[in-house]
Structure 1
């Protein structure tokens, strides 16, 4: 835990938090609109709804993790009192890239941005709290692929 002070600066936390909140607002605005009516295929419309939930899940996990880090920094939670579940970034299901490719460009952009933010925060979390052995296997594989390219 003592590395937390060194690796996780208030500026980084605030920057990631602001990015997450802006992206959450953009996603809410986009997915709450009547965009599904523009999608002709029922299969893509269902996938669109599922992906909107995945985006929301990713962003809420990121926001919750960052708020926990802010509370630790503010002294509201002592690092040794923090529950292990709060230290970890919550699991978010992977995106079906093939199906996302069939969605409108703006949806694709939001999905990609939410994944990018989630994986960046996941790397920060892994660096702060140790290895990513507890990260679900699909996320470890995706992360290895992202690092390879």
Structure 2
């Protein structure tokens, strides 16, 4: 019964539901969304300027790492938004599980930097490092919460679609 505990009165309590309403989750959520915002601002502003100054192969390394950063943050933000939507009653657990199936949280050690990582602008390297730390926290939380897989529920018009569209627009990417 991963992610659940029994109270003395025989009632099963979902740790995941309690956690998503906790101050700890709110802190992780705020940090995650602030990182998404910081990365989007950097990549659309100073990052573009810095990228133009790079010569091959460093320009390729910049493009690769910025794309990986964007993808990683999209996945993490999606995870956070889904957890929050469930705790606020915007999604049922079944809907959340269906949405969560689309999120691919990477395994440990899967984010090896590109060969020319050390030549990249310091701010990009900081953002990558921060995103990897956040990713590790979320992967641990996801494993700790360990929701059982529920049957697939078709719901194309769910409350997260607007928020996910905003994230895609901010990064100019489509996670699929």
TM-score class normalised by the smaller sequence: 0.7 to 0.9
- Separation in 1 of the partners of 2:33 and 2:20? 19
* CA root-mean-square deviation: 2.5
- Of 50, 57, 62, the residue aligned with 1:48 is 62
- Of 75, 100, 103, the residue aligned with 2:89 is 75
**1:17 matched to 2:53:** no
Question: 2:20 touches 2:84 (CA, 8 Å); kept in 1?
Answer: no
Q: Report 1:109-124 matches (<5 A).
A: 109-124=126-141
**1:28 matched to 2:40:** yes
Deviations 1:92-132 (A, max 9, x none): 562425422221211111110111111111111110016xx
Question: 1:24 touches 1:59 (CA, 8 Å); kept in 2?
Answer: yes
Name 1:3's counterpart in structure 2: 15
- Say how many residue pairs are matched: 130
Question: 2:32 touches 2:76 (CA, 8 Å); kept in 1?
Answer: yes
Question: 1:89 touches 1:125 (CA, 8 Å); kept in 2?
Answer: no
- Separation in 1 of the partners of 2:74 and 2:119? 25
Question: 1:51 touches 1:95 (CA, 8 Å); kept in 2?
Answer: no
**1:96 matched to 2:113:** yes
User: Which has the higher Rg, Structure 1 or Structure 2?
Assistant: 2
- Pick the structure with more helix per residue: 1
